[in-house]
C-alpha cells in the first residue's frame, strides 16, 4: 500500500499524545534507525515505519506487557482508520515481536520487518541516547552498589547484543557494543 504523509503525521500525533518526552524521542530515533535498516535489508518501509511509530505506544502505562498493549492500540487505530487488513496484521506482528514475547523464543520472529524493528530498538538501546535510558533504569542499583550495577549493565549489553537478527543490524550492534563498553570502562 502507499501511506500518505498526512497518514504518517496523524499516526505521529496519536503516538506523541500518549507518550512522555523520553519515550517519544526514543520512538523517533527507532523510526530513523528502522528505516535505514529496512533499506539495507530490503524490508517493506511502510510496515516498518508504522510499526516503529507504534512499537512503544503502550508505555503510556507503567505495567508490564507494553508490547502487547502497543500492538492492541496499533490494531485499534489502524482498523478504525481503514488500513488494509494485511497491513494491519504485519504492523501488529512487528510490534508484538519487538519485546521477545512467547517466553523468549526468537524463532517465532519471522518476518524481515519484525526483525528490522527488533534490531532498530536494540541499536537504540546501545546508542548514546540508550545510555541515558540505561542509567535511568538502574539508578537505584547505582546508589546501592555503583561498581556492581555497572558490571551488571555491561553483562546485559553482552547478552542482549547477541539477539540481533539481521546482517546490517548485527554489524551496527557490534560497533555500538565496543563503543558503549569503552564508555562504561572510563566511568570507574
Binding residues vs Fe ion (CB under 5 A): 56, 121
Measured from the CB atom, the residue of 5 and 64 that comes closer to Fe ion is 64
Q: How far is the CB of 97 from Fe ion (least distance, A)?
A: 11
Interatomic CA distance for residues 177 and 179, integer angstroms: 5
For the chain, the straight-line distance linking the first and the last C-alpha, in angstroms and rounded, comes to: 51
Measured from the CB atom, the residue of 56 and 113 that comes closer to Fe ion is 56
What does DSSP assign to residue 138? T
Q: How far is the CB of 30 from Fe ion (least distance, A)?
A: 5
Interatomic CA distance for residues 48 and 97, integer angstroms: 12
Q: Report whether 124 contacts 30 (CB < 8 A).
A: yes
Measured from the CB atom, the residue of 4 and 134 that comes closer to Fe ion is 134
* C-alpha cell belonging to residue 73: 492500540
Q: Report whether 41 contacts 168 (CB < 8 A).
A: yes
Output Rg (C-alpha) for the chain, integer angstroms.
17
Measured from the CB atom, the residue of 1 and 108 that comes closer to Fe ion is 108
Q: How far is the CB of 98 from Fe ion (least distance, A)?
A: 6
User: What residues contact residue 95 under an 8 Å CB cut-off, 6+ apart?
Assistant: 51, 54, 55, 67, 70, 71, 74, 117
Q: How far is the CB of 67 from Fe ion (least distance, A)?
A: 6
Q: How far is the CB of 50 from Fe ion (least distance, A)?
A: 15
Measured from the CB atom, the residue of 32 and 144 that comes closer to Fe ion is 32
Amino acid at each position: 500500500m502507499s501511506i500518505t504523509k498526512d497518514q504518517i503525521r496523524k499516526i505521529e500525533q496519536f503516538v506523541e499524545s500518549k507518550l512522555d518526552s523520553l519515550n517519544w524521542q526514543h520512538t523517533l530515533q527507532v523510526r530513523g534507525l528502522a528505516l535505514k535498516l529496512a533499506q539495507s535489508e530490503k524490508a517493506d518501509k511502510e510496515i516498518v515505519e508504522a510499526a516503529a511509530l507504534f512499537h512503544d505506544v503502550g508505555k503510556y502505562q507503567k505495567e508490564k506487557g507494553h508490547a502487547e498493549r502497543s500492538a492492541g492500540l496499533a490494531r485499534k487505530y489502524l482498523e478504525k482508520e481503514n488500513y488494509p487488513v494485511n497491513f494491519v496484521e504485519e504492523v501488529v506482528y512487528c510490534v508484538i515481536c519487538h519485546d521477545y514475547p512467547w517466553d523468549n523464543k526468537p524463532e517465532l520472529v519471522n518476518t524481515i520487518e519484525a526483525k528490522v524493528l527488533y534490531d532498530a530498538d536494540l541499536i537504540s538501546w546501545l546508542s548514546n541516547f540508550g545510555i541515558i535510558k540505561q542509567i535511568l533504569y538502574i539508578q537505584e542499583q547505582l546508589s546501592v552498589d555503583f561498581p556492581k550495577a555497572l558490571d551488571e549493565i555491561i553483562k546485559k549489553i553482552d547478552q542482549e547484543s547477541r539477539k540481533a537478527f539481521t546482517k546490517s543490524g548485527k554489524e551496527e550492534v557490534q560497533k555500538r557494543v565496543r563503543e558503549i563498553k569503552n564508555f562504561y570502562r572510563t566511568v570507574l
